[in-house]
Amino acid sequence: MSSGGKRIGILGEEVAARYLANHGYQIIVRNYRQRVGEIDIVVLDHHRAELVFCEVKARTGISYGVPAEAISAYKQYKVIQTIQHFRQEYSALSDQPYRFDVLAIMVDLSNREAEVEHLKNVFIQ
């Protein structure tokens, strides 16, 4: 990933974390990494009593497609494996129902604004 792409990704994760916190989600961990993969943000949705594993995709334009299109079947497979590791490591949360959400962030660098599209329950475990 280029340094510009990495910067957009970091900015996107910051925007996503603020969005989630402002919408009542409790952030459990950010950038959860295992050898099998990574989950950008893990939150607790108190309203639905669910653990939510969030993938953040940020873009500055649609020349490479809209952000949510970047969630391939292979990426979903890796996320499922990483979720299994998380649930073993955080055994106190392992009984929580869970879902996988995507936060698609479109960033406008010229005016430093971002638009968030929150796609809930992108695939079912």
pLDDT, average across residues 48-65: 85
Q: Report the alpha-carbon distance of residue 23 to residue 26 in Å, rounded.
A: 9
3 band by pLDDT with thresholds 50, 70 and 90: low
Domains of the chain with CATH codes: 3-119 (3.40.1350.10)
125 band by pLDDT with thresholds 50, 70 and 90: very low
Bigger pLDDT: 88 vs 114: 88
Enter the pTM of the model. Answer: 0.87
- What pLDDT is attached to residue 65? 66
Q: In terms of Cα–Cα distance, which of 49, 44, 41 is closest to 13?
A: 41
Which string of b and e fits 5-32 if b means at least 16 CB within 10 Å?
eeebbebbbebbbebbeeeebeebebeb
Q: Report the alpha-carbon distance of residue 9 to residue 4 in Å, rounded.
A: 9
- What pLDDT is attached to residue 2? 54
CB 43 within 8 A of CB 28: yes
